[in-house]
Amino acid sequence: MFQEIRSALGLLIFFTILTGIAYPLLMTTTGQWLFPHQANGSLVEVNGKIIGSELIGQKFSSDKYFHSRPSSAGNGYDAANSSGSNLSPTSKKLMDSVSARVADLRKSGSTRPIPVDLVTASGSGLDPDISVESANFQAQRIAQTRGLSLQEVENLISINTAPRTFGVLGEKRVNVLAINRALDLLPSVPQTSPVVP
């Protein structure tokens, strides 16, 4: 029996070192060496200050910025509370919240069809991207607010459109933080500070 306990303890110690120390250390070191930006959270820094992550949505409420998808993650886009609403498609609460968002978007005066991702939250509630249609829907508001031509904003959307992953997965998308930073860098737009949600 002592022999079996000794063998079991030996295996426990071996696999604890292998899977609890060696493997995580190897993966962390490899990640830091090959993909340092991604391994550190894909953080975005402006003038030495971290303003967000490419991977986590933020709430932009100013009319001069593109707005993100709605979030159901606790208090806004809090990554600690990542979750979907878990409301069924027939839920009255879901229908009411979507109707309120549609009414709010209609206040801009646009009669274009409203893209579904502007009125529904993603599964994680933290989606950093919007569809190209959602970006185009907001283009007129941003052009008017910033004193830009619609063509300038549409060109910016085109430049900041990411392709489908591997050419086949998902849809073309626009990272909201990235395009809002690009808006702030346009020379025709007077800015007092970098992107602030």
Asked if residue 196 belongs to a domain, the reply is: no
- pLDDT above 60 (res 188): no
CB 143 within 8 A of CB 156: no
CA distance 116 to 169: 19
Q: Do 31 and 48 lie in a common domain?
A: no
Whether 54 and 100 map to the same domain: the answer is: yes
Let me know whether 65 and 77 are in one domain: yes
Q: Please check whether residue 190 lies inside any domain of the structure.
A: no
Strand order in the sheet with 173-175: 129-131, 173-175, 161-162
pLDDT digits (tens, 9 = 90+) for 60-109: 888 899 999 888 765 667 777 776 677 788 888 888 888 888 988 888 77
CA 128 to chain centroid, in Å, comes to 1
Residue 96 lies in a domain: yes
Q: How does residue 41 score in pLDDT terms, banded at 50, 70 and 90? A: confident
29 and 84, same domain (yes or no):
no
136 and 65, same structural domain?
A: yes
What is the pLDDT confidence band of residue 194, given thresholds at 50, 70 and 90?
Answer: very low
What is the reported pLDDT for 191?
A: 43
Q: What is the pLDDT of residues 1-16, one digit of tens each?
A: 888 899 999 999 999 9
pLDDT for the residue numbered 61? 85
pLDDT single digits (tens) 137-159: 999 999 989 989 999 999 999 99
Domain holding 7, by residue range, is 1-40
Task: Kindly state the percentage of the chain with pLDDT values over 90.
Answer: 42
Domain assignment present for residue 110? The answer is yes
Taking the C-alpha atoms of residue 141 and residue 153, their distance in angstroms, rounded to an integer, is 10
Residues 89 and 179 in one domain: yes
Q: Based on the fold, state whether residues 51 and 33 are members of the same structural domain.
A: no
Q: How confident is residue 123, by pLDDT bands cut at 50, 70 and 90?
A: confident
